Structure 1
Amino acid sequence: MTTFQISYTSGQYWYHLRADNGEIVQSGEGYTTKASCQNGIRSVQANCQPQRFESFFNAGQYGFNHVAANGEIIGRSEKYTTAQSRDHGIQVVLREAPTARVEDLS
């Protein structure tokens, strides 16, 4: 089951969206409070539309940014070796994030 995991490291809260295979598909920025991190997760869930993803290729690696309606980046992908793998990662977020459970590891 795809899961948002909240962790606390270096004085900040972080979320990672883990796919069924255990791989991190998308990560958020560092948040100063757990409530802000939880709001970030809700923003990801609310912005799961194809037009909210910006694909890129940089330094030999593929990736994507997940962007809210206001243009702010709300999540970044892991790095992929192929465009096909990156596109699959986007599809996982689109399909699974809206109903993914949240696990608090902080």
Structure 2
Amino acid sequence: MALGWYELKLANDGQFMFNLYAANSQIILTSELYKTKASALNGIESVQKNGGDESNFEYRTTKSDQPYFILKAKNHQEIGRSQYYASQEGAKNGVKSVMNNAATTEIKDKTVA
């Protein structure tokens, strides 16, 4: 089974962030913002380490009742969050996709020209 990849990039304000993509090119997890590239790379390592364990995911819903999930590290720090889904089933499938793709070691660094 093909694995997805991480894409490391600069946010609009110059901070670093990353997305985890599934093999079908869909973004399945978006990171927080990091002040340094090294911190963002540590965030990717944390997803690789924690993303395969279903107990590290927390389901939430927006005020408008759209389900989403967050991935937390063992220290309960949020590592990343999903898009908003139309159904709880969609969010559950998103968690499965992150669990299947988190271990990928492919990182596309878009921070360098």
User: Quick one: distance in 1 between partners of 2:4 and 2:104?
Assistant: 9
Query: Where in structure 1 do 4 or more consecutive aligned residues deviate above 3 Å?
Result: none
Give the aligned residue type for 1:4: Y
CA RMSD of aligned residues (A): 1.1
Q: TM-score, normalised by structure 2?
A: 0.89
2:16 corresponding residue in structure 1: 13
User: Quick one: distance in 1 between partners of 2:14 and 2:102?
Assistant: 26
Give the aligned residue type for 1:61: Q
| Pairs aligned (count) | 106
Unaligned runs of 5+ in 1: none
User: Quick one: distance in 2 between partners of 1:18 and 1:95?
Assistant: 11
1:55 corresponding residue in structure 2: 59
Q: Which moved more, 1:43-52 or 1:15-24?
A: 15-24
Matches within 5 A, 1:16-35: 16-35=19-38
Q: TM-score, normalised by structure 1?
A: 0.94
2:69 corresponding residue in structure 1: 64
User: Quick one: distance in 2 between partners of 1:51 and 1:6?
Assistant: 26
Q: Which structure features the higher share of strand residues?
A: 1
Unaligned runs of 5+ in 2: none
User: Quick one: distance in 1 between partners of 2:84 and 2:105?
Assistant: 22
1:65 positional shift: 0.6
Identity in percent: 33
Give the aligned residue type for 1:101: E
